[in-house]
Amino acid sequence: MKRHALAFLNSILILQSLAAPATADAQSLPQLVEDYLAKRPTKALQPGLSLNDAYAAQQRFVERLEPKLGVRAGHKIGLVTPQTQERYGAKGPMRGVLLRAMMFKDGAEVPLNFGARPMFEADMIVVVKDDGIHSATTPLEVAQHLSEVVCFIELPDSLMDTTLTPDVGMIIAGNAGARAGVLGQRTAVKPTREFVEALGETQMTMTDQTGKELANAKAKVILGHPLNAVLWLIKDLSASGQKLKAGDLLSLGSIAPPQTPQAGQRITLRYEGLPGGPLTTTVRFK
């Protein structure tokens, strides 16, 4: 009888282990935080997480980072092109959390090793004006609840050890690669059809200190229009009971694949086509 009971108990334990989340548990989380703060590649994340488990892991990870990196500054949206979604087998975009200490000023000099596996990419930020944004259903309605567009170079960190092949769940659990970014010149959002159309047609060009072009595309490569990224974020956050608030910075996604910085490199991102003239921001890697 005891033998049958023991066999039954072992079966239950095996089933529980199979049903358990693949990673980011109580043991892996401290290692992930330690590796992130030490700026070293991590093996704490493993493939196989469901989206729900990945976002739950992300929340626990961000909570552990807040004492060091400050309160939430906003959100970042990733995987905003068909190419990047296909690369990771994703069915749509993903999101991460931006913290206050991640944000650098225009012209910042950033250490070359600012992350475990540091990168840079051409991005765009919009600033939330009020929480009425959750009622928006079109890009024009989104614009009515935004205050500014900010020229933004994101400085993401792939974080994963090179021996690992990351899937979507791993990337989400690692906070979508959020590490840092440079906030540059900004312009006020006008809630007009003309402004929204101009925003989608904005030419985003990234160059280095020699003038070499590193990325060049219109903002509409981001989900057909950059404000579609906000609409996706609103819906995705609402599904988990979260809301945006006034002042939130929303990083809308990159127009091109991330690139690896080089020592002494100076990167400039320029937006052209918005009312009021061009916007720029610059970062130098030391």
Q: What is the mean pLDDT of residues 192-199?
A: 98
Residue 212 has pLDDT above 80, yes or no: yes
* Contact criterion met (CB below 8 Å) for 258 and 156: yes
Residue 100 has pLDDT above 50, yes or no: yes
The number of CA neighbours under 13 Å toward the Cβ of 209 is 10
Dump pLDDT digits (tens) for 118-165: 999 999 999 999 999 999 999 999 999 999 999 999 999 999 999 988
81 pLDDT tier (thresholds 50, 70, 90): confident
* Contact criterion met (CB below 8 Å) for 55 and 81: no
Q: Per CATH, is 23-285 categorized as 3.40.1350.10? A: no
Residue 20 has pLDDT above 60, yes or no: no
Residue 3 has pLDDT above 80, yes or no: no
Dump pLDDT digits (tens) for 40-69: 999 999 899 999 999 999 999 999 999 999
27 pLDDT tier (thresholds 50, 70, 90): low
Q: pTM of the predicted model, to two decimals?
A: 0.90
Dump pLDDT digits (tens) for 265-279: 999 999 999 998 999
Extents of the domains making up the chain: 23-285
